[in-house]
Chains A and B, each alone.
Chain A
Amino acid sequence: MKTFNLTNKVKIVLKHEYLSKVKTKSFLIGTFVAPLGIVALFGVLIAATFIFKDTTERKLAIVDQTEYLGQVLVDSDTSRYYLTDKSEEVLTKLTEDSKIDGYILIQEDILDSGNVPIYTQGGGGIGFTSLLEKNLSRIVRKERLKRSGTSDDVINLVDSGINLNTKKVTEEGIKDDKTEVLAYVGYALGFVIYMLMFLYGTHIFRSVLEEKSNRIIEIIVSSAKPFDILLGKVLGIGLVGLTQVFAWIAIVVILLTFAGQIAGAFIDIDPTTLQAGMTMQDAQTKQVEMMMSGIPEISPWLGIGFVFYFLAGYFIYSCLFAAVASAVDNEQDAQQLMVPITIPIIIPIALIPMIMANPDSVPAIVASLIPFFSPILMIVRIASTQVPIWQILASVVLLVSTFLGIIWLTAKIYRIGILMTGKKPTIKDFYKWIKMS
């Protein structure tokens, strides 16, 4: 008679677990419908900002006491600014009567004071004032440099530098902004790992408990070693999780590819600002490119790190969930035993804001190296800062050895637990079972 090696049984259990989970409705919904729903929600939000954007074209009069800067401002955007000789009183009256949108007073001491009074009927929104502020401050900065005797070369250098930056994120403080965005990406990834660990830990829990409470386990353990069953289960359901994660990544990549074209449809381009030889479409594409460049580039290492830390966290916690499930007869009995498992999953979530604020501090480094916290906290740090390679390697080594230790202990608990019924176990029993086998 043919005998089969052990890995074969692991494979059979793995295949069974994988196929029976992947075919369920909840998996299909969670994998394809949920992310589309989230993306659709974001799409609506983005579309809304375009729809509600300031469409009232404001044109401001400029009273120029410097006799010079006003012209520079007008030259920067003739569609928004024009020079006037009228007195302030007349302009105030005109503004009041809604004959003009408003006026700006460029005072003689602007370079020293940096104060620019602006008179309108009010409002205009943040978009309007920030644009004005940006235009003005650029001009003022250039003048200040000139006044302090900086050579034209240097000024142009600074100016061109500013030009490049503004193209990218249209605001100052580029570096800070991006770090913040990346930190939030890390937060999101850490949170997704947290949810996945819980979700798939629960899958394992249910799977083990189903076999125990339906008495299927007696047949299965008479066919395969408990360790092989456990390993097949953990790997099979882990593969389900991995399938889901890759499906999500694929969906995000596909949507981002098409997002530009979708977003372009919402962008209005003032025909008068079109450069020669540029079609409306080109202008839209350019605008979208500028917008997209606001999204920081995500390094593939972040993706690889995400998959690794998700798997590591899943493996460690799924074993713990399996150990508890094997010991109890029903979910009620499990409540108490779940506490020591769920607390180490929840703690890192509470720590994320601190880690985001100071990703390189000693407490952050220590916390992110603790194997039970590592899956969530390390990904946050990788996203928000440059984590030294030794720390990543240390966390990998710690996670892998923790996993090996935990699956070894779990197999011992599982072996005894799955055949024990009728008694609500305690942590003390776990210790006894580990010693027994």
Chain B
Amino acid sequence: MEILKLNSVSKYFGDYKATNDVSFSVQKGAIFGLLGPNGAGKTTIIRQITNIYYPDSGEILLFGESVSSKHQNMMGYLPEERGLYKKLKVIEQLIYFGELKGLSKKEAEKRARLWLIKLGANDWIDKKIQELSKGMQQKIQFISTILHDPEFLILDEPFSGFDPVNAELLKDIILELKSQGKTIILSTHVMSQVEELCDEIVLINRGKIILEGKVREIKKSFGRNNLKIEFDGSDEFLNGIDSSKIINRSNNSVEIKLENENEAKAIFSKIDNSTFIYKFELAEPSLHEIFINTVGINNLNEQEILEIQK
């Protein structure tokens, strides 16, 4: 069942096409990755889904209906650039956002208290937002997104600002929401999270979809053409391999992009007993490699490459 469907959606800012004929659909209960480099137009698409912007052409259907302000209560949106009222207490903040999403004050307070306990944030309940650390604020922000128990969630970089322990906690909650049948759009630059969580993705660049499909199928379509070797000792067997083919190289490991399986045989035959092999594996390309290749390395700046490689 399709929860969300975009039909040839376009949005202009002056002459600039921020969204260029974008179509995709999200199935109920799926985690859907909305990917793309900075400035690709992800936020513009999200703002159209959340009814902040209206498309110039095309249509957006949510639960089978053209999206309008009445759907806003059914959505939970965690924007990438997030913010809270600095002077408000945690509980007041959560109640206000809960009420804005259609909860009664009583219900909002009840749920807020439950979530604060669940996320180990109960001690901050009467603290002002400005007294909290960045990580704590992110937790409060996340609670405010899911407080009204929306069927459909949009999470834009939900893990940023979390330490590994809390990131794991958040991941568990996202998977729990998925198991409850909630539908989630996940937008992130961290490809490892996409591989872990997403069922399907679209990759956007310059307002256009340049790649879409199920994560598994996309990876399969790029072929088992990556050779990963972990070793100890001499690396002489790597001599003669075109350096442009080496994707990753560290002290004791190497990842090589191959044209075919015969190349793997040729490399294997060059290994002698001066090298100890832990692992010799023909693997699918990682999503981040697909991302970089597809978007085109020239399109990215260094900061983004660093982010993707996290």
Binding site for B on A (CB under 8 A): 1-4, 6, 8-9, 12-13, 16, 20, 210-211, 214-225, 419
Residue B310 lies at the interface, judged by CB distance under 8 Å to chain A:
no
- Taking CB atoms, residues of chain B closer than 8 Å to A224 are 69, 72, 100
- Given A2-B102, A215-B82, answer yes or no on A222-B87 (Cβ-Cβ < 8 Å): no
- Least CB distance from B47 to A in Å reads 7
- Given A12-B99, A214-B85, A214-B86, answer yes or no on A219-B79 (Cβ-Cβ < 8 Å): yes
In the complex, A223 Cα to B98 Cα: how many Å? 10
The answer to whether A222 touches B73, judged by C-beta atoms less than 8 angstroms apart, is no
Binding site for A on B (CB under 8 A): 47, 50-52, 69-70, 72-75, 77, 79, 81-88, 92, 96-97, 99-102, 144, 151
- Taking CB atoms, residues of chain B closer than 8 Å to A4 are 73, 102
- Given A12-B99, A12-B100, answer yes or no on A218-B85 (Cβ-Cβ < 8 Å): no
The answer to whether B81 touches A210, judged by C-beta atoms less than 8 angstroms apart, is no
Closest to A229 in B: B100
- Least CB distance from B96 to A in Å reads 5
Q: Which 10 A-B pairs have the closest CB atoms?
A: A215-B83, A214-B83, A222-B50, A223-B100, A218-B79, A216-B83, A215-B81, A222-B77, A12-B99, A3-B70
The answer to whether A225 touches B79, judged by C-beta atoms less than 8 angstroms apart, is no
- Taking CB atoms, residues of chain B closer than 8 Å to A217 are 83
- Taking CB atoms, residues of chain B closer than 8 Å to A3 are 70, 73, 102
Q: What are 11 residue pairs bridging A and B, where the CB atoms are less than 8 Å apart in the complex?
A: A1-B74, A2-B73, A12-B99, A214-B85, A215-B83, A218-B83, A219-B83, A221-B52, A224-B72, A225-B69, A419-B47
In the complex, A1 Cα to B51 Cα: how many Å? 18
In the complex, A211 Cα to B97 Cα: how many Å? 13
- Taking CB atoms, residues of chain A closer than 8 Å to B151 are 1
- Taking CB atoms, residues of chain B closer than 8 Å to A222 are 47, 50-52, 72, 75, 77, 79
- Taking CB atoms, residues of chain B closer than 8 Å to A223 are 72-73, 97, 100-101
The answer to whether A220 touches B100, judged by C-beta atoms less than 8 angstroms apart, is yes
Of A9, A20, A221, the residue contacting B88 (CB under 8 A) is A20
The answer to whether B52 touches A419, judged by C-beta atoms less than 8 angstroms apart, is yes
In the complex, A20 Cα to B92 Cα: how many Å? 10
Closest to B144 in A: A219
Interface core residue of B52, B77, B82 (most chain A CB under 10 Å): B52
- Given A6-B69, A215-B79, A223-B100, answer yes or no on A210-B51 (Cβ-Cβ < 8 Å): no
In the complex, A20 Cα to B89 Cα: how many Å? 11
Interface core residue of A6, A16, A419 (most chain B CB under 10 Å): A16
- Taking CB atoms, residues of chain A closer than 8 Å to B51 are 222
In the complex, A222 Cα to B70 Cα: how many Å? 11
In the complex, A216 Cα to B137 Cα: how many Å? 13
Interface core residue of B83, B86, B92 (most chain A CB under 10 Å): B83
Interface core residue of A215, A217, A222 (most chain B CB under 10 Å): A222
- Least CB distance from B180 to A in Å reads 15
Closest to A221 in B: B52
- Least CB distance from A229 to B in Å reads 9
- Least CB distance from A327 to B in Å reads 16
Closest to A212 in B: B83
- Knowing that A2-B102, A4-B73, A224-B100 are A-B contacts, what are 20 other residue pairs whose CB atoms are under 8 Å apart, sorted by A's residue number? A1-B74, A6-B69, A12-B96, A12-B100, A20-B88, A210-B86, A214-B86, A215-B79, A216-B83, A218-B79, A218-B81, A218-B82, A219-B79, A220-B100, A221-B52, A223-B97, A223-B100, A223-B101, A224-B69, A419-B47
- Least CB distance from A16 to B in Å reads 5
- Taking CB atoms, residues of chain B closer than 8 Å to A220 are 100
Interface core residue of A16, A20, A218, A221 (most chain B CB under 10 Å): A218
In the complex, A3 Cα to B102 Cα: how many Å? 8
The answer to whether A1 touches B83, judged by C-beta atoms less than 8 angstroms apart, is no
The answer to whether B52 touches A9, judged by C-beta atoms less than 8 angstroms apart, is no
In the complex, A9 Cα to B73 Cα: how many Å? 11
- Taking CB atoms, residues of chain B closer than 8 Å to A16 are 96, 99
- Least CB distance from B111 to A in Å reads 15
Interface core residue of B81, B82, B88, B99 (most chain A CB under 10 Å): B99
Interface core residue of B86, B87, B88, B102 (most chain A CB under 10 Å): B102
- Least CB distance from B156 to A in Å reads 9
- Taking CB atoms, residues of chain A closer than 8 Å to B77 are 218-219, 222
In the complex, A345 Cα to B70 Cα: how many Å? 39
- Taking CB atoms, residues of chain A closer than 8 Å to B99 are 12, 16
- Given A12-B99, A218-B81, A224-B69, answer yes or no on A20-B74 (Cβ-Cβ < 8 Å): no
Closest to A224 in B: B100
Closest to B99 in A: A12
- Taking CB atoms, residues of chain B closer than 8 Å to A211 are 83
Of B84, B97, B102, the residue contacting A214 (CB under 8 A) is B84
